[in-house]
Every structure is written in C-alpha cells, then in structure tokens.
Structure 1
Amino acid sequence: MSGPAPAAAPGGHDLTGTGVLYRLALRRDRIALPVWVYLGTAMVASTVFSFRKLYADEDSRRTFAAGIDGNGSLRALYGPVFDGSTTGGLTAWRMGVFGAVLAALMSTLLVVRHTRAEEEDGRLELVGAGAVGRRAPLAAALAAALTANAALAALVTAALLAAGQSAAGSLAFGLALGTAGLFFAAFAAVTAQLAETARAANGLAGAAVGAAFVVRAIGDAGTGTSWISWLSPIGWSEQVRAFGGNRWWALLLPLAGAALLAALARTLVARRDLGAGLLPQRPGPAAAPPALAGAAALARRLQRGPLLGWTLALAAAGAVFGGVAKGVVDLIGDNRQMAEVLARMGGQQGVLDAYLSSIATVFGMVAAVYAVQAVLRMRAEEVSGRAEPVLAGAVSRLRWAAGHLLFPLLGTALLLAAAGLAAGLAEGLALGRGTGEAVGRMLGAALVQLPAVWLTAAVALAGYALLPHLAAAGWTGFGVFVLVAWLGPILRLPQGVLDLSPFSHLPHLPGGRLDAAPLLWITALTALTAAVALAGLRRRDLG
C-alpha cells in the first residue's frame, strides 16, 4: 500500500527520529555488520602477515613487484604495484581492489535493507505513522553505513600497524577502503529511490560495482590506458596509492561523490510516493500463464532472476581467474614459499594445480552465498505475507519448501558448472593447451565443492526453520565455514578448528586424489540437517 509522502513529521522537521532509526539499524545488523567488518579486516591482516613471511627482505619484494609490472593479466585483476619495497605496499596491491569491492557490497546491502526493503515489507509505512520525518530512514541508513565503513577503516589501519607498517600508509589504505564503501552507500541510496523493490535496487547497485571493477581493470591492464581507471570509483580507491606516496587528496573524489549522491537521494525521497519507485514498472499480464500453476512454479518465477545473474557472474569470474593462470605461474616461478602457501590453500601437485584448486574453493564459497540467499528467500516470503495465501490452499509446507529448495540444490550445481567450464576454457586458451582436458579438470574441481555448499545451505535452512526470528544465523554459519577454510591454512590453525568447515574436508582438485569418503559423509550430514529442519518447519507457527 502506498500513499502521498508526508511533508514532515510532527514538529515540522523531516529528519525527526533519525537517531532512533540509526540505533535500530545497528541493532538489527548487530551480527551481519561485525561479520562484514571482520571479514575485511581478516583478509588484510592475513595478507600482510603472509607477505611479511614470504618476502622478508626488500630485494625479494622488489623482484616480486617487478614481475607484476610486466604481467597485464595480474594488473587487470589486482591493479598495479605503487610501492614494491614494503610489505604494506604489496598488501595494498593485493587487497586494495577486492577490499574496496567488499566495502562497496557491504554498504549497498546495508543501505537498501534499511530503506527500500523496509518500504517493500510495509514496516516503513508503520514507522512513518509516528513522529518520524520523511527523510529520517534514509539519513539513518547512511549514518549506519558511515559507522560500518569507519569501523572497517579503523580496524584495517590497526591491523597494518600491528604488522609493523608505517602509520601514514596504514591510515591511507584504511581510508581508501572506507571512502569507497561510503561512495557506494550513497549510490545505493539513489537506487533505493529509483527501484520499486529491494532486489532491483540491489541489482542496480551491484551492477555499478561490477562496472566500476571492469572499467578499472581495463585501465590497469594496458599500457597508456591508466587514465581510464580514474573513471572508476574503485580506481579512485586505488589511486590513493597507500604506501606509495599517499595521495590524500584522492580521498576527496569518493567523498565528494558520496556527498552529491546523498544529496540527490535526499531530493528524490520527496518526489515519489511511499512504497513506489521513480522508474516505471512494467505491468504484468491480466491472467497468469499455465506455467505459473502450483507452488513450485511460483518458486521458479521468484528464484530464476537471481539464479541467472549469479550464473553469469560466476561464469565471468571463472573466465577471469582461468585467464590469469599463465600470469600466476610466470609470477611465482621458482618461489617455493609462495607455492607452499598456495598448496596449503588447496592443491598438491605443482603451482598451477595449487592455484586452480584454490580458485575452485573460492567458486564453492561464492556458490554457498547464493545457496544461503536462496534458502532465506522463504523467510522473505513468510515475513512479507506472500507465503500465507499460498499455504492457505491445498499446498503443504513441505511442498512449498521443496519448490524453493530446488535452487540451493540444483542451482548451485549450475553455478559451479558454469564457473568450472569458463575457467577451464580460459585456462586452456591462455596456456595454449588442449581446452578439452582443461575444461574437464576444472569442471571436476568446481563440482566437488557441492557437498560443502549443500551443507552450508542446510545449516541456513535449520536456522530459518527452527529459529525463524534468527534466520540470519544462516549467514553466521556460512561466515564460520568460510573464514576457517580460507584463513585457517594461512594462519596454521589447529586441525580441530579446520575440521569445523566442510570446505576443509573436500578433495583438492585438480592435482589431488579424489576421495569419496568425505563427500559421502558431508552429504549424509546435509540430509540429516535438512530433515530435522523440515520437521521443525512443519510444526512451528508461520510468522
């Protein structure tokens, strides 16, 4: 239900209630935000300590950096090295782009969740009936994003200082990540006014993040094209040149962009009805086609768009990571220490196999994100009230759930197959080998991740079915699995800790031995967890 936008809250100020909504936003995201911030900080901390161990002297660091300068594929993926003499400079190269992307995704999801998603679910209309200004939810969401990015910048700076890096470079790098997040938070505030649904708003913001990454990659990959990276907000973060000159003035670009976008979003709020978007919506047909008959058909309609987007994104990522395989091999060369690190992350026979195994693990972790998202779609349907009329008919809860669960079950297989095929094809072409063998190896390496992905989805299902008000526990389980499997080998955590993640038990392909035993028991544990979850879903009250 939508209606004319109120001019202001009682008292005449359109920011009335911002403080209360800001505290509410932080409380609602008291689990998700710390996980995002911790993930970004842990990635930087593990990278700087790894580089400090691998390249203990300046000569080895400069040799490593020189190899990157002549490798266009690695520059496209990570950017150029602005300071190859220090560990901090190598960390800024390795984590600058991906850290900015992480901050951008955290910020866009946060802002859309507390603006457009609140309107879509009808909660904002209820809140707006009280002493709350028209622009207060937007201001509160942006303030929450500012807090999250400030925390990320502070903790990243502290992690680099703890690793013995210079104060100026550490602060510049932390601020580069934080300001990138702020820019995309403001961009998401604009997309939340344009789109009528949270999914569309997140899609527009996510497309902008992807476009910024691609533009920056084009600018960094070639010679004489570095000016193109200045057209990308991700490139602005890179151009701060932390540890490589510390261009403090470059921080003004994302800050000025964030201010302009926030002002635009503030203006657009008052130019639309509550619950409506500024972009025109295409009206649907007067009658539903036969293909929409049934709960499973409805689930397909709701889930097909995200599945298509994730499939294309993973296929593109597979092509990129497979295409830089030759660059990775050339860069590492005879560096036994770097090969050992890659081997500990996955893979046992040769540098190439170790690298390909590690990216197959990354594909599995990304597919697990989709799996959790697909499972929690049931929670969104329940909270919005759309599940109730479906279940009021001749549709059982198990039948309704089965329609949605096909996507974390079969959709993840499609995602991993697309990533494996694209990576294998790109690897074969880059190395000048037979693409058939490369595709077969990467396809197997990607699909072997499925049991761990399914168990992650089953844990999310259990959280939703047994503790519906704590459905975000599914993301907590995913975070634990990923952090243990990703950072555990680098930090040399005890085997008992590594065993907590199903990703740690998977065969390391290509290059390793295919052992069916862990695949079978992880699958059995998945089936048991899902059965318990579905039994709980049958017995609890909806809503």
Structure 2
Amino acid sequence: MSAVAERTRSERRESASSGGPLTGTGRLLRFMLRRDRVRFPVWVLAVSIMAAYFSNVIALVMDEEALNAMTAFAANPIMGLIGGPGFGFDAITVPRFVVGMYGTSLMLGAAFMSITTISRHTRVEEQTGRAELIRANVVGRHAPLAAALVVAALMNIVMALLTGLTMMSSAAEPAPAGSLLFGAGLGAAGLAFAGVAAVTVQLSPFSRAASGFAGLVLGVSFVVRGLGDMSAVQNGDLAWLSWLSPLGWPQQTAPFTNDDWWPLLLGVALFALLVALAFALQSRRDLAAGILPDRLGRAAAPGWLRGPLSLAYRLQRPSIAGWSIAMLLGGVTFGAFTRPMADGAEGMPEQIVGIMGGADGIVEGYVGFMGVYFAMMVAAFAIISVQSLRAEEQGVRTEAVLATGVGRSAWLLSWTLVTAIGSLWLLALAGVGEGIGAAAGMNDWSMFWPVAFGHAAQVPAVWLLLGLSVGLYGVSPRILGLAWAVFIVGALLSLFGDMLDLDDVVLSASPFRHVGEYPAENVSWAGIAVLTGIGAVCAALGAIVFRRRDLTTA
C-alpha cells in the first residue's frame, strides 16, 4: 500500500514538473492578490475617487458663466500641454471640462500604478532572491510575470469600472456612455504601460533601473502627446504626434463629444504586443539577470569611491543621466513654442491673456509657468529617488553598508544631498534648454539667462518635497506614499487653482506657488528661504528617527 502511495506521489510530481512555462500562475496570482490586499484598493480608489471629486467639485463651484469662460482655454497651447486638445470645448459642459483638463493627470496615475505593480511582483522579487525560492517549486518560467500582468490588468479593469460608475453618479450628471468610455480610456492607458513595464523589467537586473526605463518611456510619451496637442489647439502641422503616444489614444476617443471607442484598441494591441515581447525576452535570460549585459567593473575601486556621499552619487548617476537628457530636450522643445505663443497673443481670449500676464508679458508668463511645470517633474524625480532607498534596504544592501564605519545619518543624508544637488542640476538643465529654445525662436538672446535662472529658482519647492520624503522614510518606508499625496495636491492646486477661483489660503498649500514665476514675477527670497528651511528640517528629523528604527529587510 505504501509503495503504491509513493508511486502515486512520484507520478504527480513528474506530471507537475512537466507542466508548461505558465505552471503555477493561478497560485501565484492568489498570493499576489493577498499581498496587495491593501495596495490594490488604495490605488484603484485613489484614481477613481479623484475623477469623481473633479466631477462633483466642478459641477458645484462653477456656474454656467464661469464654465463658458473656460472655452477660452481650448485655444491655449498650455491647455494642450496639460490636458489635451479640448474636444467639445466650443460647447462646453462639466463632463467635457473634466475630461479635457484632468484626463491626462489621471492617465499618468494609472500608468504609475501599472509600472510599480509589475516591477514589485517581478524584478523586485528576483533582486531580493525571493523569486529563486518560488521557482524552486513547481513554477513555470513565465508564471510570475503572467500573474503580475493579470494583477495589473485587474487593477486597471476595476479602476475603469469604478471611474465610470462614480462619474455617472456625480453632480455633473454625465452620460453613461461617455463616463464608461472615459474610465475605459484610463484603463487602456494603464494596460499599455503595464506592457511597457513588462518589457523593461527584462532589460536590467535592478528594479530601480527597470522602473526608470519605464518612467522614461512614460515621460517621452507625455512630451510627444503634449507637442501634438499644443500644435492641435493652434491648428498646427504637428497634431499627428498625439497619435504616436499611448497617452494620446484615450484622448482621441473624445468622451462626451464623439464617443469613439476604437482608439482604445490601439492601447490593447500595444499591451498584447509588449506582453509577447516580454515573454520572448524572459526566455532569453537567466533568473535575476537582465538582457542588457552588466559592465565589468574595475579590479579596485577608485580613491574617491570611499565614503557614503560618493556611493550615493555612484548609485544615482544612471538615473540622473537619464533625467538630464529628458530635461534638456524637453526644455528646448517647449522653449520652441515661445514664438507661437507670442504670435498668437492678439487672437487669444482675454481670460488666457490675463492669466499669462497680459499681451505685453505673455512670453514671460509662458516661460515662467514652464519653470513651475518642470519643477513638478523634478519633484517626481526626487520622490522616486527616496523611494529607491526602500529597495536598497529590503535588498539587504543598506545593512552591508552600515556594517562598516558608515553611520546611519551619514548614509541617509548623503543620499539626500546627492538628490538635492541633482534636482538643482536638472532644473538648471531644463532652464538652459528652455532658454535656448525661447531665445532662438524669439531671436532675442537677452532672455536666455532670465529663463535659465527662473527655472533653477524653483528648486526650493522640490527640496521641500525631498525633505518630506526623507522624513517619512526615516519613520517608516511604508508611509512614503504620503509624499506623493502632498505632491499631487500641490501640483493640482498650482495648475488648476486659479481656474477654480480658490481662496489664497487654499492655494498657499501648494509648495509650487511661493517662489514666483520668474521672469513674469519677482522671485520671493523669503519663499525660497522658508521652503528650503522646511525641507532641511524634515530631512534632519528623518535622519534622527532613522537612527532609532529597525531596518526593513523583508
């Protein structure tokens, strides 16, 4: 009897071991869903509730006259950059305004959700060694990636449904078809970047680099879409660029205006192609390795690589290099739109001209606004940089460094200092690029230095968010998401607060509103001092608290 039982168990093991590359996907899926039992609903509700919030607030605070005044934004290139081409703004309604002004921001949230989900369940698991333990069981080669993709797909599907349903029940009373289409557009954008992340996690053995590659693709997609939409609102020749971006396809559905569903098929098709590519790449690499080969290091470390500061720089150098290229190119590109802004000032509505500083100051208003806009991008870099400390800590690399003569405070503050200097460098590069583009377009090189200085002067807002992130990390890596919440609220208040005619007390909650949009406005040195001081205090408190907590290695 025992021999028969032993033979049966052996046959079962052989049968299981002969399974395909997707063996064990269902069990891993259940494990990932249990692991994300908090993260899943938080991300999904964050995006869908934000859409419902915008729909209700706009419907309650804006009367018909104020809403009709927003039709002026359809002719503004900045409107195209921030929100999109503004379909239906010639006969504007609350649902059309919500889609046109906030749709891109919500798509970015869905994209970040997908990128972090794929990286969390694939590359991070390999980097920490947990994937090797899982693969030691009866688990197929592609099962972890397949399960992670299913989790990301479920998150986007649930988010799309909740967004559509919450919008339908809002005070704006939108049409059901348009609400569901808008939600489906957010889900399609999230799916597309889940596919992007599935490919990038195959390229590098490090989760930070893999997520950085995906973030770079997202940034390029945003810039390409922005250029196309800025051209579209001016009836330019570059509107076709919007069709090259996964963020542009959901916008082309024009919810509540045209209600075209077919552009979403482009996002789904891209997701399918990228998933197939990801599986093909995974078949060509070893576990915990990447497609891109690692460079051979030196036999001995250089003399300067001996302290925590140089180590922090060495680890952040690839990320800073990638962001540097993006900031410089983005600055030149958006600076080139200064001439169209100046040429179109006379034909712009009074509301736009007034917000941009008047007809005589529209150039200064545009480049001043772009300084704040680039500061928001660099603030995202700073928060992501602090988030990477969590990967260092969980990967047991922090423990190895602190086992030497490096103190905890020195390790954390060295990383903070490199990120702070890197933030200033990135904003300066964006200012140089913007200055070159604007000066060349206007044929006035006297504006180069004011534009470059105006961009660099925005760095204290970034430093405040950096210090807050370091402070939260010092307490616990799990609460770093609060820094993203402060960033999102600050960015929304800065971008849309004036349109909603909010009180100055409310607007002052944004860290991006205290320096001044130079050269359109004077630089507030008091604001610079206060923002820098708060950031420094938060970072110092984070270093003190970090000395007293246990490291998180699992």
Q: What is the TM-score of this pair, normalised by structure 1?
A: 0.81
The answer for the alignment partner of 1:453 in structure 2 is 462
For 1:274-423, list aligned pairs within 5 A: 274-329=287-342, 330=344, 333=347, 335-340=349-354, 350-423=361-434
The residue type equivalent to 1:145 in the other structure is A
Asked if structure 2 preserves the Cα contact closer than 8 Å seen for 1:458 and 1:529, the reply is yes
The residue type equivalent to 1:498 in the other structure is L
1:16 counterpart SS class = helix
Report how far residue 361 of structure 1 moved: 1.7
1:529 counterpart SS class = helix
Q: Does residue 444 of the first structure (1) align with residue 453 of the second (2)?
A: yes
Asked if structure 2 preserves the Cα contact closer than 8 Å seen for 1:15 and 1:135, the reply is no
Asked if structure 2 preserves the Cα contact closer than 8 Å seen for 1:348 and 1:511, the reply is no
Asked if structure 1 preserves the Cα contact closer than 8 Å seen for 2:48 and 2:163, the reply is no
Report how far residue 145 of structure 1 moved: 2.3
User: Separation in 1 of the partners of 2:223 and 2:459?
Assistant: 29
Change (3 A) 1:481 1:238: closer
In structure 1, the gaps of 5 or more residues are 1-5
Report how far residue 243 of structure 1 moved: 4.4
1:319 counterpart SS class = helix
Deviations 1:108-131 (A, max 9, x none): 233122211221122333455568
Change (3 A) 1:151 1:13: closer
The residue type equivalent to 2:537 in the other structure is L
Change (3 A) 1:187 1:416: closer
Change (3 A) 1:250 1:516: closer
The residue type equivalent to 1:507 in the other structure is G
Deviations 1:164-183 (A, max 9, x none): 55443443333233212212
Asked if structure 1 preserves the Cα contact closer than 8 Å seen for 2:79 and 2:101, the reply is no
User: Separation in 2 of the partners of 1:491 and 1:327?
Assistant: 27
User: Separation in 2 of the partners of 1:136 and 1:320?
Assistant: 42
User: Separation in 1 of the partners of 2:499 and 2:19?
Assistant: 54
The aligned length equals 525
| Equivalent of residue 125 in structure 2, options 118, 123, 129 | 118
User: Separation in 2 of the partners of 1:152 and 1:332?
Assistant: 43
The answer for the alignment partner of 1:3 in structure 2 is none
Q: Does residue 435 of the first structure (1) align with residue 449 of the second (2)?
A: no
Asked if structure 2 preserves the Cα contact closer than 8 Å seen for 1:420 and 1:446, the reply is yes
Report how far residue 262 of structure 1 moved: 2.7
Asked if structure 2 preserves the Cα contact closer than 8 Å seen for 1:89 and 1:243, the reply is yes
User: Separation in 1 of the partners of 2:147 and 2:251?
Assistant: 29
Change (3 A) 1:89 1:43: closer
User: Separation in 2 of the partners of 1:408 and 1:47?
Assistant: 37
The residue type equivalent to 1:56 in the other structure is N
The residue type equivalent to 1:245 in the other structure is N
| Equivalent of residue 539 in structure 2, options 499, 505, 530 | 530
User: Separation in 1 of the partners of 2:501 and 2:81?
Assistant: 30
Deviations 1:320-354 (A, max 9, x none): 332223434526745233345557xxx99844444
Deviations 1:70-126 (A, max 9, x none): x8x987987656545332667656666665455434422331222112211223334
> Percent of aligned pairs with the same residue?
35
The answer for the alignment partner of 2:9 in structure 1 is none
Asked if structure 2 preserves the Cα contact closer than 8 Å seen for 1:356 and 1:442, the reply is yes
RMSD: 3.9
Deviations 1:418-447 (A, max 9, x none): 112222232233334x222x2232233223
The residue type equivalent to 1:462 in the other structure is G
The answer for the alignment partner of 2:150 in structure 1 is 143
| Equivalent of residue 490 in structure 1, options 495, 499, 503 | 499
For 1:137-216, list aligned pairs within 5 A: 137-154=144-161, 157=164, 158-159=166-167, 162-212=171-221
User: Separation in 1 of the partners of 2:359 and 2:544?
Assistant: 41
Asked if structure 2 preserves the Cα contact closer than 8 Å seen for 1:78 and 1:97, the reply is yes
Deviations 1:193-213 (A, max 9, x none): 343222332243334445545
User: Separation in 2 of the partners of 1:218 and 1:517?
Assistant: 35
Asked if structure 2 preserves the Cα contact closer than 8 Å seen for 1:74 and 1:324, the reply is no
In structure 2, the gaps of 5 or more residues are 1-16
Asked if structure 2 preserves the Cα contact closer than 8 Å seen for 1:44 and 1:95, the reply is no
Asked if structure 1 preserves the Cα contact closer than 8 Å seen for 2:432 and 2:448, the reply is yes
User: Separation in 1 of the partners of 2:198 and 2:31?
Assistant: 19
The answer for the alignment partner of 2:523 in structure 1 is 514
User: Separation in 2 of the partners of 1:274 and 1:52?
Assistant: 59
Change (3 A) 1:480 1:243: closer
Asked if structure 1 preserves the Cα contact closer than 8 Å seen for 2:378 and 2:462, the reply is yes
Asked if structure 1 preserves the Cα contact closer than 8 Å seen for 2:243 and 2:249, the reply is yes
Asked if structure 2 preserves the Cα contact closer than 8 Å seen for 1:76 and 1:217, the reply is yes
The residue type equivalent to 2:381 in the other structure is Y
Report how far residue 457 of structure 1 moved: 1.0
Report how far residue 46 of structure 1 moved: 8.0
User: Separation in 2 of the partners of 1:401 and 1:368?
Assistant: 18
The answer for the alignment partner of 2:68 in structure 1 is 56
Greater displacement, 368-377 / 97-106: 97-106
Greater displacement, 187-196 / 240-249: 240-249
Deviations 1:446-495 (A, max 9, x none): 23322221111111111111224434443334334434444444334444
Change (3 A) 1:356 1:44: farther
User: Separation in 1 of the partners of 2:64 and 2:441?
Assistant: 31
Change (3 A) 1:409 1:192: closer
The answer for the alignment partner of 1:479 in structure 2 is 488
User: Separation in 1 of the partners of 2:66 and 2:210?
Assistant: 42
Deviations 1:55-75 (A, max 9, x none): 628xx94x875x57xx8x987
User: Separation in 1 of the partners of 2:118 and 2:472?
Assistant: 24
The answer for the alignment partner of 2:91 in structure 1 is 86
Change (3 A) 1:338 1:297: same
